[in-house]
Chains A and B, each alone.
Chain A
């Protein structure tokens, strides 16, 4: 019930391409879905987040797509740049009980090549 499954584990994209990372969850009590970006040796930084009342949220080149019925959400990075090379984590949490803890996916290592 608490798992968040993330794929792929690693991803190589050419500069200018679209990077897509997918996550799936099981707990229907989850109502907050953030994405974090982490560079080597650094702490994760909140990138973008969505709540289930909308199906898409866009901030610059980063877009979250959310499918409530399928219990899936994904991160799209448009016009991927070498500076986007990092590990990306999806996460989910709810507002009460055990769901209120942030549950993380296992991460996707993105490499953007020239």
Chain B
């Protein structure tokens, strides 16, 4: 799990409630990412951030929001607008090279969110 922590490991919420998932890293990585994992669908990118106070939408950003107020932290809020929020959520981080490219991503242990 490297130096990335996600909490909590399991999270239960009722439909219609917003919920925030925590991600903290002590790897001094510039870039951070949120992925969603569903059975048989691999990992899909929700949001990513290359620098503090800046972030970009990934492939499935609808119904999610993020903030990046500190380099170490990249919390994800699953809003009530997300139609199918039950999933395994993974946070990752990577170095950003001077060219702007970023490669090796290191993942946290994940948070399993169940919404009923």
Which A residues contact B (CB, under 8 angstroms)?
Answer: 6, 9, 32, 34, 36, 41-46, 49, 89, 93-96, 100-102, 104-107
Contacts and interface: CB of A to CB of B under 8 A. Distances in A.
B106 interface: yes
B74 interface: no
Contact of A43 (B42, B44, B58, B107): B107
B103 A32 contact: yes
A43 B1 contact: yes
Given A43-B90, A95-B99, A107 B42 contact: yes
Contacts of A89: 42-43
Size category, B interface: 20 to 34
A44 B45 contact: no
A113 B105 CA distance: 30
Contact of B43 (A41, A44, A49, A94): A44
Contact of B42 (A45, A46, A100, A105): A105
Nearest to B44: A104
A104 B100 contact: no
B40 A106 contact: yes
